[in-house]
Chains A and B, each alone.
Chain A
Amino acid sequence: MQYAILCYNDENAVASWTKEEDDACMARLAKVQGDMAAKGKMGPVARLLPTTAATTLRKSATGTMVIDGPFAETKEQFLGFYVVEADTLDEAIAFAKDLAVANPGIGAYELRPVSLFFPHTIAAGSGAT
């Protein structure tokens, strides 16, 4: 079964890491991903930019409305996600635990089974590295 691992944390705390701290954290997370990839179980990974850059499209009975900012104002923000293949929930939890250890501080990981998955690829030369 595929799981989406949705990462939540205080984006202001994450944004106040120094570049060295951020790099070190990313290196630890890359290792966790590498272990999963070696088993052929690692799907797409995304780290999201701050919620201040977000736009929300809200649909109501009368139509759609574009709103500045994230969908929900919360203490912890949705900062990124992983898609992994896990045979059991325990395996997905073990992966999320590894992420939690690699990631300093507080935060939360929501493990959500995936219903549909289209691994489309975006043409090179655009977007973040």
Chain B
Amino acid sequence: MTDNAWIGAALAAARPQAVSALLRYFRQLDTAEEAFQEACLRAIRTWPEKGPPRDPTAWLIFVGRNSGVDAIRKTRRNVALPPEDLLSDLDDTEADMAERLDGEHYRDDILRLLFICCHPDLPANQQIALALRIVAGVPTAQIARAFLVRETAMEQRITRAKARVAANDTPFDPPDAVARQERLGTVAIMLYLVFNEGYSRGHADPAAAQLCDEAIRLTRLLLQLFPAEPEIMGLCALMLLQHSRSPARTDANGQIVLLDAQDRTLWSRPMIAEGLALVDKAVRHGTPGSYQVQAAIAAQHARALRAEGTDWAAIDRLYQILEVIQPSPVITLNRAVAVSKSRGPAAALALIAPLADQLDNYFHFHGVRGGLLQQLGNATAARTAFNRAIALANSPAEAAHIRTHLDALSAPALPDPAAIAK
């Protein structure tokens, strides 16, 4: 890595803390961002010669504050100037700044910055775009590629979203414990949206896949700030455990490979280790939540070195807990997959029968139902369900996957050994 590439990584790492601290200081998102940009330019100019500062984040906040003050001074001549000693000698003040910028403030600063991106007036994809741009610092062109829109369109989307949040009245005082929890919950949802945006399309699109990495990075950051929050541990673990399978999710032709058929040696072991450690940490708190349970389910898969070794009964039990915490037909549908493995396709089919109305427009419902009917030897009904699934497919890969099932149905009728065994 060249010096410049390393500086880029350091700037990216410092960005969430620096921009959110500058936002507290300037109370204006645009000014805070511009100040950070200016600080970055100075870093690129001076760090290669003088060497990087001991605390790059504190350096960037300090320089950003000064440059922002300069900018405000230029536009509004009558603004009172800050004390000259703050502006005079960077080296003397840097250590002192680092002390003062440290600690408590960071936590609420970053949470606030993430929280204002979750403005309720903004549609989910704008919240995501804004958080990626402002907090994670992902270039607009890259976000545009991930969302399959033109850069100019994404630029406009972000500008509009920024104008919306500029009118936001999120107070700058530290939130109380209840408000902090609410913010944390809202931000967690948004981060999971970022992840899902990447995960749902990442198998076909490397630009989208990168969103998964950004989501994990931001969630780890949140966990650094709130190290004892089991749901944030759960969220981080869930992302890591799902993302660990990415290298095995598509075959050489870009077709989706289902969990059962994935080459588990391709799964990322470090991600699994991190995810499993986080699940274990969360469980110790004894306060189950949706992300923790979903992570625990993903952990069951991660622990099975071979698909046959999966503890489907345990997964069924975890889904039952999830149904209580967060009742939803989609969760019951997922549970049905576990039930089909542990108790057979007939039990699973009975479980999803009541969902037919609610999930009639849901791709996965018809895909799962078709699979269960196929296992039970009901080829005609299976074909109808698979055709419905293809009509509702969200991507060519999904449709192609269902077609392979249809092809299997059309093949010379061999009795399904699983159906006979039952």
Chain A: residues with CB nearer than 8 A to chain B?
Answer: 10, 12-17, 21, 24-25, 49-53, 55, 66-69, 75, 104-106, 125, 127-129
Number of A-B contacts (CB under 8 A): 83
Chain B: residues with CB nearer than 8 A to chain A?
Answer: 1-3, 5-7, 9-10, 12-14, 52, 54-56, 217, 220-221, 223-224, 227-228, 233, 236, 269-270, 273-274, 277-278, 281, 284, 305
In the complex, the answer to whether B9 meets A52 with C-beta atoms within 8 Å is: no
Contacts of A51 in B (CB 8 A): 224
Q: Which of A15, A16, A53 contacts B278 (CB 8 A)?
A: A53
Alpha-carbon gap, A85 to B254, bound state (A): 48
In the complex, the answer to whether A17 meets B9 with C-beta atoms within 8 Å is: yes
Alpha-carbon gap, A74 to B254, bound state (A): 43
Alpha-carbon gap, A39 to B278, bound state (A): 39
In the complex, the answer to whether B12 meets A16 with C-beta atoms within 8 Å is: yes
Residue on A with the closest CB to B219? Answer: A52
Residue on A with the closest CB to B1? Answer: A104
Contacts of B56 in A (CB 8 A): 10, 13, 106
Q: Which of B13, B274, B281, B284 contacts A13 (CB 8 A)?
A: B13
- What is the distance, in angstroms, from B309's C-beta to the closest C-beta of chain A? 12
In the complex, the answer to whether A49 meets B274 with C-beta atoms within 8 Å is: yes
In the complex, the answer to whether B269 meets A50 with C-beta atoms within 8 Å is: no
Q: List 6 A-B contacts (CB under 8 A).
A: A13-B14, A13-B56, A16-B13, A50-B220, A68-B228, A106-B10
In the complex, the answer to whether B1 meets A10 with C-beta atoms within 8 Å is: no
In the complex, the answer to whether B269 meets A13 with C-beta atoms within 8 Å is: no
In the complex, the answer to whether A24 meets B1 with C-beta atoms within 8 Å is: yes
In the complex, the answer to whether A105 meets B269 with C-beta atoms within 8 Å is: no
Alpha-carbon gap, A96 to B223, bound state (A): 31
Contacts of B227 in A (CB 8 A): 52, 68-69
Alpha-carbon gap, A75 to B13, bound state (A): 12
Alpha-carbon gap, A66 to B281, bound state (A): 10
Contacts of B281 in A (CB 8 A): 53, 55, 68
Known: A16-B217, A128-B273. A104 touches B224 (CB 8 A): no
A sample of 7 more A-B contacts (CB under 8 A), given A13-B12, A129-B269, is: A13-B9, A15-B13, A49-B270, A75-B54, A106-B52, A128-B269, A128-B270
Contacts of B6 in A (CB 8 A): 104-105
- What is the distance, in angstroms, from B42's C-beta to the closest C-beta of chain A? 17
Q: Which of A15, A21, A67, A129 contacts B5 (CB 8 A)?
A: A21
Known: A53-B277, A66-B284. A16 touches B52 (CB 8 A): no
Alpha-carbon gap, A105 to B233, bound state (A): 29
In the complex, the answer to whether A49 meets B9 with C-beta atoms within 8 Å is: no
In the complex, the answer to whether A25 meets B1 with C-beta atoms within 8 Å is: yes
Alpha-carbon gap, A77 to B7, bound state (A): 18
Contacts of A69 in B (CB 8 A): 227-228
- What is the distance, in angstroms, from B230's C-beta to the closest C-beta of chain A? 9
Alpha-carbon gap, A103 to B253, bound state (A): 37
